[in-house]
Amino acid sequence: MVKKMDADVIIVGGGLGGIAASLAAARMGSRVILTEESKWIGGQMTGQAVPPDEHPWIEQFGATSTYRQFRDGVRRYYRNNYPLTPQARSNRHLNPGNGWVSKLCHEPKVGLAVLKEMLAPYVSNGRITVLLKHRPINAATHGNQMEWIQVKNIETSDVVELKGAYFLDATECGDVLPLVKAEYVVGAESQTETSEPDALAEADPTNMQSFTMCFAMDYLEGENHVIARPTDYDFWRNYRPDFWPDKLLSWTHPFPPTLEPWSRDLFYQPGRSIRDSLWLFRRIIDRENFIEGEYQSDIVMVNWPQIDYWLGPIIDVSETERDRHIEGAKQLSLSFLYWMQTEAPRPDGGRGYPGLRLRRDIVDSADGLALPYIRESRRIKAEFTILQQDVSPQTRPDDQTATFPDSVGIGSYRIDLHPSTGGDNYLDVASLPFEIPLGSLIPVRIANLLAAGKNIGTTHITQGCYRLHPVEWNVGEAAGCLAAYCLQRKLKPKEVRNDKPRLREYQGILEQQGVELAWPKLTAR
């Protein structure tokens, strides 16, 4: 028997875009059902265990008010619940891990606690209903309208049919799009299609960025925490890609902007840059921030080049193929840990760090691995598609990024493409601080469906800078607000975008709620 539920807005996917969309719609009075396939909300920030990748100005501007509320909440959580040193407690810009990748490296479970806290008032008053461990399996449309979507409980196999006026796809891979036969793009476009300077010569739908199975570890010198030898260890131990300067399981990898070999160390070595230490890269607990004796070791999140998996895509393939590649990625991550514990060269001439301990508790999984960190999604064929020409200093006159009259937010990040399933090495090139055009959230055909995550109208190239944490949040917030606005005004998203007074009214609501629509002049380079 299929259970039926309804709400004003159905949001499929509980990552950062889905959370922001839920908050925005509920804040405007809409009833929301939010579904999430995993046991945790939060996506990149929690279940995928990726400390936030953010731009240099994040503490001053360049994010929505609710994203700042989340960041402030993380710091408050540590101050309220952890034995911080007086110096760390008084630090306005507390970075619990002091990892250099981000100004706010923190544990996934703390991010989860803060997101739950943000949702709590709306869950309590009934405006938001959260269905965890529910995966989308089927959907129905009538003409150009979505009518319902079915989600299946992955534990009980019970099916729930969800009806709403608006549907938002905030899944990690754009999973709603094929269910409703929405027009979308996957993989890499050709230069003929997009005229982008760094596009491929030929389109390849199977060419997607690698994904990663992250894990946390600490180090207890003198102890032995070596894991069981992974089944595929011999394969990964000897694997050397054609485009890699050494074996994949080594301390040497390409420097992304130049592709020159970059040899690093596990721990910081005096006289070298902190960026040469992988340990300091994504550290989520710096024990120096806490009262002496509370932590035996720092805790680091391993999301390093050595565990990017690119031997095959997991989008638009059979379930068997997808499972095979996810298992392959797990084997890679565990093999890298085992290599570090047993064979990795040390500066003192020895081999291996048996004191490295896999922290299964940090991601709350039996194998110690987080959910797949997904860098590339299906992308809607949108009313407007963002091209490299809109954001690249190579193509913009006077280094002025494109401005959009329908801007619904801003972001900034380099075009950062990791090695791909097509055998491409890193593509890491500059981009200018950019705006998010409303047209990129609106599908070309289905009238009551909105993109609310990494599945907006970008290309393989521009998804490389529009895919990160604050931008995904901003996209979701704009989509949730738009759905609620359309319900209140009895309008369609395309009508809002193409009617200047309506567009300006909607943008005004975004601004009132703390969404920045344009960059301050001082950031233009």
By residue count, the chain amounts to 525
State both tokens at 480: 């949730």
Cα–Cα distance measured from residue 438 to residue 521, given in angstroms and rounded to the nearest whole number: 22
Instruction: Please report where in the chains the tokens 């280094």 appear, as a residue.
Output: 399
The DSSP 8-state label assigned to residue 357 in this structure reads E
Closest CA to 171 of 369, 452, 408: 452
Contact yes or no for 211/343 (Cβ under 8 A): no
Whether 387 and 457 have beta carbons less than 8 Å apart is answered as: no
Q: What is the pLDDT of residue 521?
A: 79
Tell me if 192 sits within 8 A of 453, measured CB to CB. no
Q: b vs e for 487-515, b when ≥16 Cβ sit within 10 Å of the residue's Cβ?
A: beeebbbbebbeeeebbeebbebbeebeb
Nearest residue to 356 (alpha-carbon basis) of 275, 439, 300? 300
How many H helices and E strands in the chain?
A: 14, 23
Q: Mention every residue, 6+ apart, whose C-beta is less than 8 A from residue 512.
A: none
Q: How many angstroms separate the CA atoms of 379 and 455, rounded?
A: 4
pLDDT value for 456: 98
E strand or H helix at 363: helix 360-363
How far apart CA 86 and CA 106 sit, in angstroms, is: 19
CA distances from 377 to 41, 185, 187, 451, 517 (A): 18, 9, 8, 11, 24
Residues 387 and 379: their CA atoms lie apart, in Å, by 13
| Cβ neighbourhood burial of 475 (10 Å; 0-12, 13-18, 19+) | buried
Specify the pairing of strand 128-132 against strand 32-36. parallel
Q: Does domain 3-95+108-189+376-523 have CATH number 3.50.50.60?
A: yes
Element (H, E) at 323: helix 319-342
- CA–CA separation, 78 vs 518, rounded Å? 32
User: Which pairs with CB-CB distance under 8 Å and at least 24 residues apart come from 391-399?
Assistant: 391/415, 391/431, 391/432, 391/434, 391/462, 391/465, 392/197, 392/429, 392/430, 392/431, 392/432, 393/430, 393/431, 393/432, 393/525, 394/197, 394/429, 394/430, 395/197, 396/432, 399/432, 399/524, 399/525
pLDDT at 398: 80
Determine the pLDDT at residue 524: 42
Tokens describing residue 149: 């979507």
Give the Cα separation of 210 and 308 in Å (integer).
Answer: 6
Give the pLDDT score at 261: 98
C-alpha torsion sign, points 98, 101, 104, 106: negative
With 0-12 / 13-18 / 19 or more C-beta atoms within 10 angstroms meaning exposed / middle / buried, residue 161 is: middle
Helix axes 469-489, 500-512, angle to 10 degrees: 120
The residue among 175, 205, 148 whose CA lies nearest residue 7 is: 148
CA dist 365 and 505 (Å) reads 46
- Are 24 and 477 a contacting pair, CB within 8 Å? yes
Identify the pLDDT of residue 400. 83
Query: How far apart are the C-alpha atoms of 359 and 214, rounded to whole Å?
Result: 11
Q: In what order do the strands lie in the sheet with 145-153?
A: 3-6, 159-163, 145-153, 134-142
Rounded to 5°, angle at Cα 206 from 204 and 208: 95
Q: Residue 522: its pLDDT value, please?
A: 54
Question: Could you give the CA distance from residue 170 to residue 440 in angstroms, rounded to a whole number?
Answer: 14
d(CA 17, CA 478): 9
Supply the DSSP string of 167-200, one letter for each residue. Answer: EEE--SS-THHHHTT--EE-SBPBHHHH--TTSB
| Average pLDDT along the chain, 525 residues, taken 10 residues at a time | 96 98 98 98 97 95 97 98 98 97 97 98 98 98 97 97 98 98 98 96 97 98 98 98 97 97 97 96 98 97 98 97 98 98 97 98 97 98 97 86 95 97 96 97 98 98 97 98 98 98 98 97 52
Sorted by where each begins, the domain ranges of the chain are 3-95+108-189+376-523, 211-373
